Amino acid sequence: MPVASVGSSWATVASHGQVSGTASKLALSGQQEDHPFVGATVAEVEQGLILATLDHCEGNRTSAARILGISLRSLHNKLTSYNAAGMSIPAPRPRTRC
C-alpha cells in the first residue's frame, strides 16, 4: 500500500478517535502535508498504520498481518496492548476486500 493511501487511511482512523496524542493531531492538522509523520513517534505511526490496515481489511487480522508483513501473533500482541490502553479495535466484519 502506498504511503499516501496509508496517510489518508490513518487520518480516517484518527478521526474516529482510534489514534490519540500527537499522531491524531498530525494526521488531522493538514499542516504536515509534505511529511505527515514528522513529530510523531515511531510507536504512534506504527499504531496508526496497524489500525488503518486493520480497518482496510474489515477487521480481518490474518489479512492485515499479511499486508503489514508481521506475524499474526505480533499483530495480536499489539492489538491486545492497544485494547488494554483503552483503544477501540475494529471487530471483524463480513469481508468484501483483502
pLDDT digits (tens, 9 = 90+) for 75-94: 999 999 999 999 999 888 88
**1: confidence class by pLDDT, cuts 50, 70, 90:** very low
Let me know the angle formed at the C-alpha of 43 by 40 and 48, rounded to the nearest 5 degrees: 75
Residue 93 lies in a domain: no
Q: What is the mean pLDDT of residues 35-56?
A: 94
CB 65 within 8 Å of CB 52: no
pTM beyond 0.85: no
Domains of the chain: total: 1
Question: Which CATH number is 63's domain given?
Answer: 1.10.10
| pLDDT on residue 25 | 52
What is the rounded average pLDDT for all residues in the chain? Answer: 78
Using the predicted structure, report yes or no on whether residue 10 has a pLDDT greater than 80. Answer: no
Residue 50 lies in a domain: yes
- Domain carrying residue 36: 3-84
Residue 72 lies in a domain: yes
Neighbours of 84 (CB within 10 A): 8
Residue 89 lies in a domain: no
